[in-house]
Amino acid sequence: DVPNALGPLDAELMLLEGCVEGYLSLTFTVMLLRSNTRGRLIVQSRNPFTSPHLDYKPLSHSSDIDMLANIIRRLYMKVFSAESLQEFDITVTPSFEIVADIQKLAQWIRLSLYYYSHPGGTCRVARDGLPGVVDHEFNVLGTHGLRVVDASVFP
């Protein structure tokens, strides 16, 4: 995304600071805000007390890997390679060697993935010709007798 530009963001970068073995530690976390990956919710039984199976299918859409790789590369080029940091003895993970090789970086991304769940507003209400998950009465589109009536349908 372009800084200060209007429009939806693709990702968010979060910075956490800490101390590891007496040294300052900075942890950068990249969060996809608009993933193209689509998981599946599979009903396991007609018994309503049997939990469904949720298959996230993480990073199964190649554009998600590309987005994460581009963000990581930009972070390495603009921040970690900055002249102002050259005086410090910094260690980065993954290494610059891995970031330079798209195949190795994609593998590192898959191995380093963890889930962050913020369930509010995840089921868009279909309206004005825009696609959604539920209709205006919260019926799940494409199903019969299933509604979503929780914080996931906040507008």
Per-residue pLDDT of the chain (155 residues; tens, 9 = 90+): 555 555 556 788 888 899 988 888 888 988 887 788 888 989 999 998 999 998 888 899 999 999 999 999 999 999 999 999 889 888 899 999 999 999 999 999 999 988 766 667 778 889 888 888 999 999 999 999 999 888 888 76
**C-alpha–C-alpha distance, residues 43 and 1, integer Å:** 38
**C-alpha–C-alpha distance, residues 55 and 107, integer Å:** 20
Residue with tokens 């004005």: 128
Phi-psi category of 110—alpha, beta or left, where left has phi over 0 and alpha has psi -120 to 50? Answer: alpha
Residue 2: what pLDDT?
57
Residue 49: what pLDDT?
93
For residue 18, the cross-strand partners are 25
